[in-house]
Amino acid sequence: MNVAIIPARGGSQRIPRKNIRLFGGRPMIAHSIDAARESGCFDRVIVSTDDPEVAGVATACGGEVPFLRPAALSDAFTGLDAVMRHAVAWLESEGS
């Protein structure tokens, strides 16, 4: 199974709430979700976020948000590798 994992932290410092701000009339996160879905490369498109509002928007835009990322992995200093390891560990624990 091929899974796209899109990181979308709620607390952006430079552009507040950037993942749900409108760009071209749609939330920014929608563009990433659509690109992954339309690529034909992925069986699932999962959004890793710490923010319930981002999760709601991502779900409404066709992404899956099966978990909320822990606060310890959601600060400005957390690297992408830790976020991806968390998502992969979650998928493995679910048998995906």
Distance separating alpha carbons of residues 3 and 91, to the nearest angstrom: 9
pLDDT of 28 reads 97
Mean pLDDT of all residues in the chain?
94
**pLDDT tens digit sequence for 7-35:** 999 887 788 899 999 999 999 999 999 99
Greatest alpha-carbon pair distance for the chain in Å reads 37
End-to-end CA distance of the chain: 8
pLDDT of 22 reads 96
For residue 48, give the nearest of 28, 72, 70 by alpha carbon: 70
Pick the CATH number of 3-93 from 3.40.47.10, 3.90.550.10, 3.10.105.10, 3.40.50.170: 3.90.550.10
pLDDT of 77 reads 86
For the chain, domain boundaries: 3-93
Distance separating alpha carbons of residues 11 and 34, to the nearest angstrom: 22
Where does the pLDDT of residue 6 fall: very low under 50, low under 70, confident under 90, or very high at 90 and above? very high
> Residue 3: helix, strand or coil by DSSP?
strand
